[in-house]
A = this chain, B = another copy of it.
């Protein structure tokens, strides 16, 4: 799963939690879904403000990222760990050192037994020129991380395996 930091304003303070349960869910408009346990501190902030951010940290922020997955905003102020910035919505705090930050407007909430799926429309995406190749986000330049559970490990992105949406015929490929 991808490693992200979900940002929100909770009790008037920016807060970040590490989240691996995140995926695009709708193509048009561009929606993102994040599955968050109801016991966490973040849900109240997202519900109140109708906004959240999804920030993808580079591997050199692994300690800060993991810390945000271990300690709760209920008893720890996480607002000063990172240097922040804001987009048009003033209630989706984003992290300057993250090479990709998505600003999301809450559009739907799907309730489940232990978790809530917050569905947000991506209203803005922030990156820097140095992280792009041919005008597109370059995951290797961004040095993003992968999370596996239940072994609980972070990984970098590895070697290029192949082009996607490319194989229109299997007869062209050697079969195992």
Contacts and interface: CB of A to CB of B under 8 A. Distances in A.
Contact of A163 (B150, B153, B169, B176): B153
Interface residues of A, number: 71
A71 interface: yes
Contacts of A147: 164
Contact of A151 (B24, B67, B138): B138
13 contacts: A25-B110, A26-B113, A27-B37, A31-B112, A63-B162, A67-B170, A70-B167, A71-B168, A110-B119, A139-B151, A152-B163, A154-B160, A154-B164
Interface of A: 1-2, 20-29, 31, 33, 35, 37, 59-64, 66-67, 69-71, 81, 97, 108, 110, 112-115, 117, 119, 133-134, 136-139, 145-170, 173, 176
Given A25-B112, A67-B173, 20 more contacts: A23-B33, A25-B115, A25-B117, A26-B114, A59-B161, A62-B162, A63-B173, A67-B167, A108-B112, A110-B117, A112-B119, A117-B117, A134-B151, A139-B148, A139-B151, A146-B158, A154-B160, A155-B159, A155-B161, A156-B159
